[in-house]
Amino acid sequence: MHPFHTHCEAALAAIEAQGRYRRFTALRKQAERFPLYRRADGSEVLVWSSNDYLGMGGHEVVIEAACEAARSMGAGAGGTRNISGTSPWHDALEAELADLHAKPAALLFTSGFVSNQAALSTILNSLPDWHVFSDARNHASMIAGIKGAKATCHIFRHNDLRHLEELLRSAPPAAPKLIAFESVYSMDADISPIGAICDLAGRYGAMTYLDEVHAVGMYGPSGAGVAERDGVAARVDVIEGTLAKAFGCHGGYIAGEATVIDYIRSCAPGFIFTTSLPPMIAAAAVASVRHVRSDAARRATLFERAETLKRRLTAAGLPALPSASHIVPLHIGDAALCSAVSRRLLDEFAMYATPINYPTVPRGEERLRLTPTPLHTDAMMDRLVAALNTILVPERRAAA
Ligand SMILES: *Cc1c(COP(=O)(O)O)cnc(C)c1O
């Protein structure tokens, strides 16, 4: 046997033994019945872990836009943006996103992951002596971009301004600097102090790169993100977002100053050498972004639903973790137990919530990550609380 094959077997066995082997759960989304999905046997499952945060993936204006574009332009783009892969929908979407963030320009990528990886590595490979300051809880896609560059990397403790300043102060004053961070951290459900980080950036001459993936569509008066909500978007150099979460479609993007965006467009292999988004997806995303920008009621309902779920879990004595966002984490604290609770929710109660285990969160912080949407009703919450009480209360009594 090849040594690599032996390695794979051993590594997989170790992952399984640690209770963190990942198995897909085959669930079929139902556009018209979201958040109710269907299993292979036809039975329905109530899903609590979709990143289609606003339920826009099943919205009729989005589906119609996708169908119409597919009928007129076909399924795939047929090329990169430079090789016959630009449609009127790509241009319209970039214009819409630039306008959303009040930035001069925006650039699409095939996913949020690719946008972070490509943009960060391209920025950090541009000059010889970049210093990058990265929040300790940054998403894997940002880490991939940073690791793919020759820059000196400083990791600051999560949302810790004092530590960030210490590191900024210790770097060579003349070196180009970039602070890379997120607004809403999806696993911790907390929010970064964007304005204060921009203050530090100003003081130390650093650029700012902000991942608003878990905020676009939801935060701020027009859904442009936490930077808009806090009135600091103009101070952020590059805002990165996704079309795959609250906008319910697919694709990623960056928005910022025209020369910076044009430079990344011209130099990033992750932009140049891959087929562009299907026009039908770009058309669906334009429809979604336009709709969401003006649908403040949907945003208000999202936050009302999240607050209601937090309150109900806490009232039932269930260990909802503190959350400053629309995400509701429920503490479990053990990988095997976390997977078991998720499995029992599905098998016995026809509900699905993703178990979040190491390495996504540190060991001991295993959790269920609940994302109620505007379409989750009070009756659905009653079902969830009752099921969690049945599953978790005996577990905790046994542990005590
Ligand atoms: C999901 C996610 C991404 C990647 O976005 P995709 O469009 O799903 O590739 C980037 N950053 C963060 C923080 C994310 O959670």
Q: How confident is the model over 11-20, as pLDDT tens digits? A: 999 999 887 7
Whether residue 139 has its Cβ less than 6 Å from ligand 1: yes
Distance separating alpha carbons of residues 365 and 8, to the nearest angstrom: 27
Is 275:83 a contact under the CB 8 Å cutoff?
Answer: no
Q: What pLDDT does residue 3 have?
A: 97
Atom of ligand 1 nearest to the CA of 114: 9
- 27 CB-contact burial (10 Å; exposed 0-12 / middle 13-18 / buried 19+): middle
Is 267:149 a contact under the CB 8 Å cutoff?
Answer: no
Instruction: Check whether 243 has a pLDDT greater than 70.
Output: yes
Whether residue 230 has its Cβ less than 6 Å from ligand 1: no
Listed residue (266, 289, 241, 284) closest to 81, CA to CA: 266
Which residues neighbour 337 within 8 Å (Cβ) at sequence distance 6 or greater? Answer: 366, 395
Distance separating alpha carbons of residues 390 and 377, to the nearest angstrom: 20
Question: Residue 76 corresponds to which amino acid?
Answer: G
- Mean pLDDT of the 201-224 span: 98
Q: What pLDDT does residue 23 have?
A: 85
Is 205:174 a contact under the CB 8 Å cutoff?
Answer: no
Q: What pLDDT does residue 166 have?
A: 98
Instruction: Check whether 90 has a pLDDT greater than 70.
Output: yes
User: Of 103, 177, 245, 310, which residue is the catalytic one?
Assistant: 245
Share of the chain above pLDDT 90, in %: 92
Predicted confidence band at 358 (pLDDT cuts at 50, 70, 90)? confident
Mutate to test the pocket of ligand 1, among 117, 139, 326 (most ligand atoms within 8 A of CB): 139
Instruction: Check whether 212 has a pLDDT greater than 80.
Output: yes
Which residue would you say has higher pLDDT here, 230 or 362?
A: 230
Whether residue 213 has its Cβ less than 6 Å from ligand 1: yes
Mutate to test the pocket of ligand 1, among 137, 141, 190, 226 (most ligand atoms within 8 A of CB): 141
CA of 68 to the centre of ligand 1 (A): 27
Atom of ligand 1 nearest to the CA of 182: 13
Which residue would you say has higher pLDDT here, 400 or 131?
A: 131
Listed residue (115, 109, 95, 112) closest to 289, CA to CA: 95
CA of 9 to the centre of ligand 1 (A): 29
Predicted confidence band at 399 (pLDDT cuts at 50, 70, 90)? low
Mutate to test the pocket of ligand 1, among 97, 135, 213 (most ligand atoms within 8 A of CB): 213
Atom of ligand 1 nearest to the CA of 138: 13
Which residues lie across from 177 on neighbouring strands? 131, 206
Predicted confidence band at 396 (pLDDT cuts at 50, 70, 90)? low
Listed residue (120, 298, 123) closest to 211, CA to CA: 120
CA 360 to chain centre: 13
Query: Look-up: residue for tokens 């027009």?
Result: 222
CA of 244 to the centre of ligand 1 (A): 8
Instruction: Check whether 400 has a pLDDT greater than 60.
Output: no
Neighbours of 382 (CB within 10 A): 11
Backbone angles phi, psi at 207, to 5 degrees: -85, 160
Q: What pLDDT does residue 346 have?
A: 96
Element (H, E) at 137: none
Whether residue 113 has its Cβ less than 6 Å from ligand 1: yes
Query: Look-up: residue for tokens 């076909």?
Result: 74
Instruction: Check whether 345 has a pLDDT greater than 80.
Output: yes
Predicted confidence band at 397 (pLDDT cuts at 50, 70, 90)? low
Helix, strand, or coil (residue 212): coil
Instruction: Check whether 9 has a pLDDT greater than 80.
Output: yes
Q: What is the pTM of this model?
A: 0.96
Sheet with strand 44-47: strands edge to edge: 36-38, 44-47, 351-352
Q: What pLDDT does residue 367 have?
A: 96
Predicted confidence band at 256 (pLDDT cuts at 50, 70, 90)? very high
Q: What pLDDT does residue 395 have?
A: 62
Listed residue (276, 284, 273, 283) closest to 84, CA to CA: 276
Phi-psi region of 350 (alpha: psi -120 to 50; beta: other; left: phi over 0): left
Q: Over the chain, what is the mean pLDDT?
A: 96
Whether residue 180 has its Cβ less than 6 Å from ligand 1: no
Q: What pLDDT does residue 398 have?
A: 63
Whether residue 182 has its Cβ less than 6 Å from ligand 1: yes
Q: What pLDDT does residue 186 have?
A: 94
Which residues lie across from 368 on neighbouring strands? 330, 355
- Mean pLDDT of the 371-375 span: 98
Whether residue 212 has its Cβ less than 6 Å from ligand 1: no
Mutate to test the pocket of ligand 1, among 134, 245, 326 (most ligand atoms within 8 A of CB): 245
Query: Look-up: residue for tokens 């905790």?
Result: 396
Whether residue 192 has its Cβ less than 6 Å from ligand 1: no
Whether residue 57 has its Cβ less than 6 Å from ligand 1: no
Is 245 tagged catalytic?
yes
Which residues neighbour 189 within 8 Å (Cβ) at sequence distance 6 or greater? Answer: 321, 322, 323, 324, 325, 327, 328, 329
CA of 140 to the centre of ligand 1 (A): 9
Q: What pLDDT does residue 360 have?
A: 84
> What is the per-residue pLDDT across 111-137, written as a single tens digit (0 to 9) for each?
999 999 999 999 999 999 999 999 999
Listed residue (331, 337, 384, 391) closest to 361, CA to CA: 331
